[in-house]
Amino acid sequence: MSVLTYGVTGIKGNPIKEVRVVGHTDCAGVAACYKAVRGNKDIAPDSVLWTWLGPLRELAALCKNDRETADELAVRNVRAQVQNVKEVLGRLGRLSEVQANGYIYNVFNGKLELVAESI
């Protein structure tokens, strides 16, 4: 959050105008969280990685739809993080001045797809 705050309030004369949240397909962290909420514990619950991925595991647990793929979970995560950025921008009084957009990078075809944008 400190980097975001500095970027939109601390750079005098040329503050950032867009925050980009970028996820990617075939993400091992997303796959691990996807599997974890379905009973497969590839990551030790006492590891730093388990703690780091906590918010993503919580997001994965919200969806009981077994048809959702790990890549769809990655998209939901990007959208959730864009919402988090917007909340911070709102608290900083910069929501109308800074766009928050979310993208998914497809590692198979090299394309960047917009999945969440500021309105």
Q: Tell me how far apart the alpha carbons of residues 5 and 89 are, in angstroms, rounded to a whole number.
A: 8
Which 8-state DSSP code applies to residue 25? S
The rounded distance, in Å, linking the Cα atoms of 89 and 101 is 12
The structure's pTM equals 0.87
Q: Which CATH superfamily is domain 2-116 in?
A: Carbonic anhydrase (3.40.1050.10)
In tens digits, the chain (119 residues) has pLDDT values of 788 888 888 888 878 899 999 999 999 999 988 888 888 777 777 788 888 888 998 998 887 677 788 899 999 999 999 999 999 999 999 999 999 999 999 999 999 999 998 76
